[in-house]
Amino acid sequence: MRTRLLTFALGLVFLSACKDLSAPDLNNPSVDDYSNITSASQVSAIVRGMLGYDRGNHTAEIQRAEIIGRDAYNLPVSEPRWVTDLLGTRIDPGSFNGTAVWPYAPIRLANIAIPGVQEATSEVLSDEQKSASIGFLRTFKALSYLRAIETRDTAGAPINVDIDPTGPVAPLSCKNDVLAYVVSLLDSANADLAAGGGAFPFALPDGFAGFDKPATFATFNRGLAAKANLYLAFRNYAPPGGGAGGAIDASYLAAADTALLASFMDTTASTIEELDVGPQHNYSTGSGDATNGLYGNPTSTNIRTNPRVVSEADSGDDRVARKIVATKALSLGGVSSSWTFNIFTSPTTPISILTNKELILLKAQIEWGLGQTADALALANTVRTVDGGLPAVSVSDPGDVLNQILYEKRYSLLWESSARWIDARLFGKLNGSAPPAGLGQEAGNDPLWNLPFPQAEIDAREGDLSKQCTLTS
């Protein structure tokens, strides 16, 4: 494949916290390694590799999105680019920020492994086990593409990368086409999972408890499909260059709603624990494993909460008291804060990939897009009252209802998701105006629209970043 996949050199594969942490070299997976599956242990190693890749990309996406989204700072004196890049006007494509969340290594691994699984003999994998394995791999392959387009947005991303590495580079596709491909992949994966029998032929980490069988894992797949369809529904609502209130595609809203109904969404949740249900990435301090990159000891961490998170919160919001603690003041590059996060209480605290509360708020966005503002507000109030400990609000103007949904997403998904930045871009609020009209400025700059392509990718394309587009409306 030829996005030239120089991405393999960008970092270590973090193995998921399964009991067996040994695995082959998944930084540079070869066709010889995984195109010929001769044992179930090979499939287990591939699954660990896919989870490890996504674990790193998930953390990297949250870190950058929450800083650009005006919820967080990272203020190490030794590395000012956490401020100058992410709160500035341009990210260096060759920097660690420019190369972040370019997830084509796990995509390559999936592209090699899926045919290998398909061609495995019946002595190695039954037909049901093949379907279950492929459904898992396609789901995480789709999630990798979703992360690529969440971070690059209208810059696009390559889709057809499973090609001869000696040929031309894979063409760049537009955001809308990438999202449509993600939906197609997830739908195919869902069909595979439906044919996958009662169990996977591999063990999943503890964070997937309740989602560790093909049927229950499929509810996670459907949650991802709902998110991708929602992005497609609002693809023309707030185009680059400003403005909002454009077209909303009701057919994709309906598809998102159908996917949600097949997900693990529970709108009757009445406790914080029920809102937090969802698959998680695990961490450990064991040799060869990784710790939680979002954790910071409040007394020593460089990670800071943007003070605006505190000042812009509704009085008495339990999420502020629960998730943020005071610490010593720290300043860098014209920004400062004496607050930090208390969400992850140790280096081994899991990080959720998708939660029930996010699905409920996605449902609220769907209802809002369909003009069902009362239903949308009721869903937002479910999260507000349970997670925030606040009284329900009563507003009727559609703009006010949307702002309320986005407020609940901001505080319920604080330092756990990239949603604030993505939602602001999706709904035309990615500007320097004060909330709720926009995210507001930091260090004198408006929020960035997207991460750049990595410099190696730009060089491989000889600077030609033109895109092929089909789904433009």
pLDDT, tens only, 385-422: 999 999 999 999 999 999 999 999 999 999 999 999 99
- Around 263, how many Cα atoms within 13 Å sit in the side-chain half-sphere? 31
Topology adopted by domain 22-284+354-437: 1.25.40
pLDDT, the chain, mean: 92
Domain ranges of the chain: 22-284+354-437
- Strand-by-strand arrangement of the 467-468 sheet: 157-158, 172-173, 467-468
State the pLDDT at residue 17: 31
Looking at residues 49-68, what average pLDDT do you find? 97
CA dihedral 371, 419, 143, 57 (to 10 degrees): 170
Please say if the pLDDT value at position 425 is more than 70: yes
Q: What would the mean pLDDT of 157-166 be, rounded to a whole number?
A: 87
CB 154 within 8 A of CB 175: yes
pLDDT of residue 473: 57
> What was the pLDDT predicted at 386?
98
Cα separation, 157 vs 149, whole angstroms: 7
Q: Does 299 score more than 70 pLDDT?
A: yes
Q: Give residue-wise pLDDT tens across range 202-252.
A: 999 999 999 999 999 999 999 999 999 999 999 999 988 778 889 999 999
pLDDT surpassing 50 at residue 27 = no
Share of the chain above pLDDT 90, in %: 88
Residue 44 has pLDDT above 70, yes or no: yes
Name the pLDDT band for 35 (thresholds 50, 70, 90).
Answer: confident
The pLDDT of residue 301 is above 80: yes
pLDDT of 41 reads: 94
What pLDDT score was predicted for residue 26?
A: 46
